[in-house]
Structure 1
Amino acid sequence: MAKSALIIGTGTGVLPRNMYKYGADWTGTDISENQIIEAQQLAKEAGMSIDFYTCDAKDIKLENASLDVITACQCIWYLNHEITAPRFSAMLKDNGSFLILYMGWLPYEDEIAGKSEDLILKYNPKWTGCRDTVHPVWVPDEYLDYFVISKQEEFRVDIPFTKDSWNGRMRACRGTSASMSPETLAVWENEHIKMLENYPESFCIKHYISVAWLRKK
C-alpha cells in the first residue's frame, strides 16, 4: 500500500516531483497561488499525478489519520504553531512522521556564496537572512506536546548551479526581490551578473541540510 505524504510550503513542487519515483501518494500545498500553478504545470509535463493546492498551512483540511508523513521544508518559521501542531498530529496515522527540513548555502565556506551575500548587503544592509552556519533546524515547542523528536541531523552537500540559475536563486531570496525596490533590484542584479563573470559557467555551491524527524505520540 502506497504511503501518503503532505508537503507544506511545496513551492513549485520540487520535493514531491523528485520523490515521486518512490511511489507515495503526494499532496503539496503552498500559500502562493503562482507557485502552485507552476507546480501543477511542471508535474503535468512530467506525467506525474500529484495533488497541489493553494492553502495556508493552518487551513489545510484533510481527513484525520489519513497521512503517513508531513513535511515542512524551508517554511517552519511562517506557520501558526498553536494551530498546526495539533492539526498535523490529527491528520497523521498512528506513529506518523513530521519532518522539518532546511537547506542553506554556506557563505563562510563558499566563495561565490559569500561574495553574493556581500553584494546583497551592499544594497540591503538590513537583510538578516545571511551569514548562515551549520546548525540544527528549529523545532518549535508547540510540536513537542504532540510529537517526540526521533532524530536530528545536519550534513553538507554540494549543489550544482549555472551562472544563470545561481543568479536566479539569489534573486529569489528574501534579501533581494522580496525587499528591494525594482530600481535597486535591477542595479544589484547587473552587478551580481558582472561578479559571476569571474567564475566558470557551471559550479557547485556548498550547502548544508538540517533535518528534524518527529514521531506522533
Structure 2
Amino acid sequence: MGIDFGLTAEDYNKYRVQYPDELLDRLEVYGVVEKGQSLLDIGTGTGFLAQKFSERELQVTGVDISKELIIEAKKIAEEKGLNIKYVNSTAESLPFKENQFDTVTAAQCWHWFDKEKVLQEINRVLKIDGKLVIIHLDWLPLKENVVAKTEELIISFNPSWSGGGGNGMYPAWLTQVSEAGYREIETFTFDLNVNFSHQAWRGRIRASAGVGASLSDKDVKIFDEKLKSLLEKDFSETLIIPHRVFCLVCSRPYT
C-alpha cells in the first residue's frame, strides 16, 4: 500500500489529535523536558509534538520525509511564533553531526521506519547520555463503537490496510531497542477520551494512512460520504473516542 501523507496535509494538521499536556508532564520525570535542551523530532509530520516541546523552551528540530508536511509545519510554527527548525529528510539518513541532540523523539511514526537503520542513526546523533522517546497515541476499536465501525468501512475500501484492530500497546518496541543496545528502558501508558464532531471525525479519518494517504481522490470522496451516512444513522453528533498513549523511554547505548 503506497502511503503519502503529503496528500492529507490540510486534514492532517486540522483534525489529528494533539498530544496531551499530561504526556510532557510525565516525561519531565525522565529529564527530557528541560529548558534549553536540544531535541530532534523524527517523523514530525506537521509538528504536533515539536510544538509542545518548543512551547516549553527546548531547542527543537523536526524532520519528515514529506515536503508537504514540512511546509505546513513551518507555516504553523511561524503563526505561533515558535522557533523550530524543520528539515525535509528521512529518519534513516539524518543530515546532522554526531552527538548533537539531548533527546530524539518519534511520535506516531515508528512503524514506518527501517528499525535497524534508524536506531543506528539515532545513536549517532544523540549525545553520550542522550535519550530516545517513542510515542504512539491510538484510537481504540472497542466492540461496536464508532472506531470499530469506521475501521470496518476503511477495510471495505482498502483491504490492504493493516492499521486496524490495535490495542495501543507496543511490546515489540522494547525488544527492538534492547537488541540495538539501548538501556534504562522504561514504558508508561495512560488512556484518555477525545470528543469529536461528525465533521472532525471524518477529517481525522481522511488524514489516516488507510484513506487520504493511500486512496484516490475519487475513492476518498466516496468513502467520506459513506462515513458521513454511517455517523448520521448510528451515532450522536458528539462522538467520544477512546484513545491510549503508549510511551517508551530509553538511554543511548554506551558504544
Pairwise same-fold verdict (TM > 0.5): yes
Give the distance between the partners of 2:251 and 2:188, measured in 1 at CA. Answer: 15
1:22 corresponds to 2:56: yes
Matched, 1:211 2:254: no
Which residue type is aligned with residue 103 of structure 1? L
Match of 2:114 in 1: 80
Q: Which amino acid aligns with 1:158?
A: N
Alignment of 1:158 with 2:212, yes or no, is no
> Helix, strand or coil: the match of 1:58?
coil
Correspondence for 1:188: 223
Using structure 2 for the length normalisation, give the TM-score. Answer: 0.78
Considering only aligned residues, what root-mean-square deviation do their CA atoms show, in Å?
2.0
Hey, what does 1:31 align to over in structure 2? 65
| Kept in 2: contact 1:85–1:146 (CA 8 A) | no
Question: Where do 4+ consecutive residues of structure 1 move more than 4 Å?
Answer: none
Number of residue pairs the alignment of both structures matches: 217
CA contact (8 A) 1:149 1:212 kept: no
Gaps of 5+ in 2: 1-34
Structure 2 vs 1, CA of residues 167 and 95 (structure 1 numbering), >3 Å: closer, same or farther?
Answer: same
Partner residue of 2:37? 3
* C-alpha deviation, 1:168, in angstroms: 1.2
Greater shift after overlay, 2-11 or 147-156?
147-156
Equivalent in 123, 133, 138 of residue 104 of structure 1: 138
Letter of the 1:178 partner, please give it.
Answer: A
In 2, distance between residues paired with 1:124 and 1:64? Answer: 41
CA gap of 1:61–1:183, structure 2 versus 1, over 3 A, is closer
* 1:133-144 mapped onto 2 (5 Å cutoff): 133-136=167-170, 138-139=172-173, 141=176, 144=179
Instruction: List alignment gaps of at least 5 residues for structure 1.
Output: none
1:161–1:137 Cα change, 3 Å: farther
Contact 1:66/1:93 (8 A) holds in 2: yes
Contact in 1 for aligned 2:137/2:244 (Cα 8 Å): yes
2:101 aligned residue (60, 67, 79): 67
